[in-house]
A and B are shown apart, each in its own frame.
Chain A
Amino acid sequence: AQKITQTQPGMFVQEKEAVTLDCTYDTSDPSYGLFWYKQPSSGEMIFLIYQGSYDQQNATEGRYSLNFQKARKSANLVISASQLGDSAMYFCAMREANTGNQFYFGTGTSLTVIP
């Protein structure tokens, strides 16, 4: 079974609008971390936001927020007020405490921001 599932291969959003990128995960470990990374066309992997499994509140970092629904095992990334520079691949990832060295990545979502 896939540890991380991103069901949206590609997404489009109008500039200045908000967009949600979906991520679901599969784990039986009560302790885990969820991460989102951005990969622009230049290729580097940029860390965006982190959510811990025991965190009571949804994580926020500037225009990025993570909609964490633990019972549904989802960790969707919300980007508010989209900018042209947000066009990139976005990867969801998970790290489990019982396999602390391992990071599992989803297949990514390509986001295009339309002017």
Chain B
Amino acid sequence: DTAVSQTPKYLVTQMGNDKSIKCEQNLGHDTMYWYKQDSKKFLKIMFSYNNKELIINETVPNRFSPKSPDKAHLNLHINSLELGDSAVYFCASSLTDRGNEKLFFGSGTQLSVL
């Protein structure tokens, strides 16, 4: 049973298109995240979201938007894709009320914008 699952694993698309990446966790966590990992392997937080608040990294373009239909899902929508959006996107989840609770990662989505 996969704890944090995201789909698709690979996404190849043209510039200007709109795409979504889905994420689901079955751990009962209350907070979910999206991270972007660039070609230099830097991990950058994009969003964190629980049922109380959405925290957006101010450097994230507003073409990116998280959508959470319920606590177990946090999808990432990207509008008007650009070449620079090519990266690996990781979904993750955690519990907020336990400081020692680690971050559980999905397997990543390799996005290639042509």
Contact = CB atoms under 8 A, between A and B. Distances in A.
Interface in B48-85: 48, 50, 53, 55
Given A44-B108, A107-B42, A101 B31 contact: yes
Given A102-B48, A102-B55, A31 B43 contact: no
A91 B45 contact: no
B57 to A, nearest CB: 10
Interface residues of A, number: 26
A89 B41 contact: yes
Contacts of B43: 91, 105, 108
A108 B41 contact: yes
Nearest to A53: B99
Interface in A28-45: 31-33, 35, 37, 39, 43-45
Given A101-B50, A103-B45, A43 B102 contact: no
A33 B108 CA distance: 24
A100 B103 contact: no
Interface string A42-78: 0111010010100000000000000000000000000
Main secondary structure, interface of A, reads strand
Contacts of B94: 101, 103
A97 interface: yes
Q: Which of B41, B43, B48, B53 lies at the interface centre, i.e. has the most chain A CB atoms within 10 A of its CB?
A: B43
Contact of A32 (B92, B99, B110): B99
A93 interface: yes
Given A101-B55, A102-B55, A105-B43, 10 more contacts: A35-B102, A43-B107, A44-B108, A45-B105, A52-B100, A91-B43, A95-B99, A100-B99, A102-B48, A103-B33
